[in-house]
């Protein structure tokens, strides 16, 4: 790995910026972007595999903070719930990641994939009127509040070992009766705390590609700005928003199960450098 003196200053390529813009557009819609960025990195053969996790975290840190600020400002989720969800995700990353990191990656992927697939089926039936629709609340109370916090604790732990939280967060909050768009400030704010913190370890160790990370950052801001009005518009059309969430959850379920099939049976989860 090159030294920091050799790496800075850096000049990102046009391709880095384009990758950041397109994938952050998808990320702002709730689809996520780590898998897509990784696939594009693999396709072009750079950066090397050992630098990909750090490049993803460092390159997306600023963009996710920007996205969190936009959604928190525009979507009025109950402040107490928002704060509790962010704290529980951070606690999950701090306390629970060590436990989850001892589990096998394929086991986690299969479990999450099947759970999301069932959730997608449930929401499809809801959208078609087969079963009663979920609610449109912007806050929770009582046991629903507690269950949401516990669920986000688990998602915080899983997020730090490479399992995305967007689709599971959407599913959890929809099951608890919240409006689909309420998930956006919660999941963006959770990531807005965890990703920058995770990035510090990679920054200290130097295990990332600086030029690529800068490109992802620049493109990410543009992609977020482009996608945000679309999400906000969809939020005003509850039925359409529910179909979008169902599609995101279904996509995530299939992607998770495909990743499980491709991974080594005994492969451990990735770790963030100290």
Could you tell me the pLDDT band of residue 236, with boundaries at 50, 70 and 90?
Answer: confident
- Which letter, b or e, does each residue of 234-258 get, where b requires 16 or more Cβ atoms within 10 Å of its Cβ? bbeeeeebbbbbbbbbbbbbebbbe
Nearest to 68 by CA among 24, 20, 22, 23: 24
Give the pLDDT confidence score for residue 70 in this predicted structure: 96
What is the chain's mean pLDDT, rounded? 85
Whole-angstrom distance, CA of residue 217 vs CA of residue 45: 20
Alpha-carbon distance of 51 to 166, in angstroms, equals: 24
pLDDT given at position 63: 94
Residue 36 pLDDT exceeds 50: yes
Residues in contact with 226: Cβ distance below 8 Å, sequence separation at least 6, in sequence order: 21, 25
- Global pTM value: 0.81
Report whether 159 contacts 270 (CB < 8 A). Answer: no
Question: What are 126's two structure tokens?
Answer: 């809801």
């Amino acid at each position: 790995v090159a030294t920091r003196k050799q790496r800075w200053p850096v000049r990102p390529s046009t391709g880095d910026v384009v990758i950041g813009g397109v994938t952050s557009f998808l990320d702002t819609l709730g689809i996520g972007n780590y898998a897509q960025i990784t696939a594009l990195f693999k396709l072009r053969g750079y950066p090397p595999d050992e630098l990909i996790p750090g490049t993803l975290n460092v390159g997306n840190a600023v963009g996710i903070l920007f996205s969190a600020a936009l959604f928190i400002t525009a979507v009025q989720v109950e402040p107490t719930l928002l704060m509790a969800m962010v704290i529980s995700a951070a606690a999950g990353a701090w306390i629970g990641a060590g436990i989850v990191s001892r589990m096998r990656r394929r086991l986690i992927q299969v479990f999450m994939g099947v759970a999301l697939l069932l959730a997608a089926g449930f929401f499809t039936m809801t959208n078609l009127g087969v079963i009663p629709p979920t609610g449109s609340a912007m806050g929770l109370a009582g046991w629903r509040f507690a269950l949401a916090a516990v669920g986000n604790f688990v998602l915080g732990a899983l997020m730090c070992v490479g399992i995305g939280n967007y689709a599971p967060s959407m599913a959890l909050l929809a099951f608890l009766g919240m409006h689909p768009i309420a998930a956006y400030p919660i999941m963006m704010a959770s990531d807005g705390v965890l990703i920058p913190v995770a990035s510090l370890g990679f920054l200290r160790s130097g295990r990332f590609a600086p030029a690529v990370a800068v490109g992802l950052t620049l493109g990410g801001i543009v992609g977020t700005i482009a996608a945000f009005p679309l999400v906000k518009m969809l939020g005003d059309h509850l039925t359409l928003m529910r179909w979008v969430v169902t599609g995101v959850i279904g996509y995530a379920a299939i992607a998770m199960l495909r990743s499980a099939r491709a991974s080594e049976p005994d492969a451990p989860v990735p770790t963030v450098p100290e």
